[in-house]
């Protein structure tokens, strides 16, 4: 979830790519419950896996084991009113995603501390809550926490890997470009290194880019956006900028996985990429949070 407050989809504006995770808004989330089947259909077409399958992969568990176990877990989503307040439709969208992948999920009737108490009264296994700075999932039984930035990065990295595997190559020893070195981008780099990809990074903030490359010897720094995209077929777009990737930068071998909201492709580029363009506004990150909370061992 990488959102700039108040930025509406379609506005072509290059932002600071390293901004912290901020707030969604109603227009982004209002249609998610009704469009989950279409979102999942697009994921399957791109990667061969549905939401739960990708989430399970990111949590290092088989899709079959995840499907067999997840139905026995209860999740609550607690509205949080601090800071800029509750985002209309957000908690309902999160609960809808969780129900879609098989959990028993609901939004608590109370907010804030009362909502946490409600979660315990319902004997929930998982509690999801977000404020202006963090979106977290808590496993109340195992005392573990899953962070949306890390989960979103893992989900979209594994979506990219699954799409690459459909072409019989995978990401090991392949060049993968990460655009944007904010929270999701930096987590994506770590996940890609685990998959033994050769990681190339680019950010509009030259100081951030230089510092990151100097402190992470496993990555290569790109000189420019065009240079990086011209020479790399696999891309993880973790920026909050729209319209930075046009049709001239889409090649036959390009696969672009985009956790950023808005995503970086122009409408023409997204159409040209077709199933090689992977994006949603919230579902994959939430699904991975759930899978990590249930199946991933604590640190």
Which domains, and CATH codes, for the chain? 26-149+283-295 (3.40.50.12150), 153-279 (3.40.50.720)
Interior angle at CA 91, CA 90 and CA 94, nearest 5: 90
**In contact, 44 and 171? CB cutoff 8 Å:** no
Please, what is the average pLDDT of the chain? 91
Question: Ramachandran region of residue 21, left (φ > 0), alpha (ψ -120 to 50) or beta?
Answer: beta
pLDDT number for residue 231: 86
pLDDT at 272 > cutoff 90:
yes
pLDDT in tens, 50-63: 999 999 999 999 99
pLDDT number for residue 18: 55
Give the list of residues 6+ apart from residue 138 with CB closer than 8 angstroms, or none: 126, 127, 128, 129, 144, 145, 293
pLDDT number for residue 10: 42
Pairing of strands 277-279, 255-258: parallel
pLDDT in tens, 6-59: 334 444 445 565 555 545 778 889 999 999 999 999 999 999 999 999 999 999
Instruction: Give the strand order in the sheet containing 74-78.
Output: 104-107, 74-78, 126-130, 135-139, 144-147
pLDDT in tens, 175-233: 999 999 999 999 999 999 999 999 999 999 999 999 999 999 999 999 999 988 988 99
Band of pLDDT at residue 293, cut at 50, 70 and 90: very high
pLDDT number for residue 1: 46
């Amino acid at each position: 979830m990488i959102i700039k407050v108040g930025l509406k989809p379609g506005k072509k504006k290059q932002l600071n790519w390293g901004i912290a995770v901020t707030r969604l808004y109603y227009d982004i989330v209002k249609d998610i419950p009704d469009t989950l089947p279409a979102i999942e259909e697009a994921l399957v077409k791109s990667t061969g896996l549905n939401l739960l399958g990708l989430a399970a992969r990111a949590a290092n568990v088989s899709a079959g084991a995840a499907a067999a176990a997840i139905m026995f877990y209860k999740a609550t989503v607690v509205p949080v009113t601090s800071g800029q307040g509750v985002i209309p439709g957000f908690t309902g969208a999160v609960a809808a995603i969780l129900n879609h992948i098989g959990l028993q999920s609901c939004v608590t009737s109370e907010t804030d501390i009362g909502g946490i108490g409600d979660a315990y009264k319902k004997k929930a296994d998982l509690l999801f809550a977000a404020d202006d700075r963090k979106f977290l999932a808590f496993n109340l039984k195992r005392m573990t926490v899953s962070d949306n930035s890390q989960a979103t990065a893992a989900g979209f990295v594994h979506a990219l890997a699954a799409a690459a595997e459909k072409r019989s190559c995978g990401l090991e020893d392949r060049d993968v470009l990460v655009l944007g070195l904010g929270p999701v981008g930096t987590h994506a780099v770590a996940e890609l290194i685990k998959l033994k990809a050769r990681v190339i990074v680019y950010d509009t903030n030259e100081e951030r880019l230089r510092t990151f490359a100097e402190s992470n010897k496993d990555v290569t720094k790109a000189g420019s956006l065009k240079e990086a995209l011209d020479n790399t077929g696999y891309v993880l777009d973790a920026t909050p900028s729209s319209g930075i990737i046009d049709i001239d930068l889409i090649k036959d071998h390009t696969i672009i996985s985009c956790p950023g909201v808005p995503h970086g492709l122009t409408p023409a580029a997204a159409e040209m990429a077709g199933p090689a363009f992977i994006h949603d506004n919230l579902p994959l990150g939430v699904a991975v949070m759930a899978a990590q909370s249930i199946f991933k061992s604590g640190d």
